[in-house]
Amino acid sequence: MTAVVTGASGTIGGAIAVALAAAGCPVVALGRDDERLAALAAGITAAGGACTTVAAELAGRALPVGRVVLVNAAGVHGPLAPVAEVAVEEWDRVIGVNLLAAVARTRAVLPGMLASGWGRIVNVSSAAGVAPAGRFNAPYATSKAALNRFTAHVAAEVAGTGVTAHALHPGDVVSRMHGDIARQAAAVPRLAGYATWARQTSAHGDDPRAAGRAVVRLLDDAYAHRVNGWFLWPDGDRRTPFPLG
């Protein structure tokens, strides 16, 4: 099987790529930061794994067919602002990266998965997509809620085929997205709650390798089929996973 990881030049995507490579999967790593992708590939190769890097915009011509683990880890947060202040163009950007890109990648690999009788689709989501609605976070939370629903529909369609689909919250990780939130929240009184979250995550953030372990666990057929269409947490031990359907 081959693992395809989008957003692999980021902290979470990179950790998942490393974990899958260590589990024996040749990795196709997609991202927008060439230097970080090169460093990722070098590290995987030095550890005895195999990694091919692909610029994100070339993904449509580079995705493998057949038995594939697809991890959609690319994501952006977008603006922290009231709905009335967020431009439609920002909604387009957030929905495009967090939802529609995952839809496109899924469509690209799903026929091959079904033909081979095996596949895994893992959409890196967020607790924001299942939490009660709050203030100033509508684009991001909406994109993740939609990604969760998309995951549930895919899971329902592929049930019994050998293919499974899952949403994964990777934890509160110090990453580029964390930095974006921290920058937006700095010195803006109405965003004090987000500033507090950013400080707490900086001090006590989750290990991104936990997300990698969660994805590797899905290589086990019995476990993956039991949690097809579920929302998962890092390592499966922080909170109880639950069905999305």
The catalytic residues are 125, 140, 144
Count of all residues that appear for the chain in the document = 245
Q: Which of these, 45, 101, 39, 48, lies nearest to 73 by C-alpha position?
A: 101
| Alpha helix (H) residue ranges in 159-208 | 176-185, 192-204
Do 241 and 227 contact (CB within 8 A), yes or no? yes
Give the N- to C-terminal CA distance of the chain in Å, as an integer.
28
* Residue 92, token pair as written in the block: 């387009």
Q: Which of these, 182, 178, 181, lies nearest to 206 by C-alpha position?
A: 178
* Residue 197, token pair as written in the block: 């979250």
Chain centroid offset of residue 157 CA: 21
Do 13 and 5 contact (CB within 8 A), yes or no? yes
Residue 69's SS3 state is strand
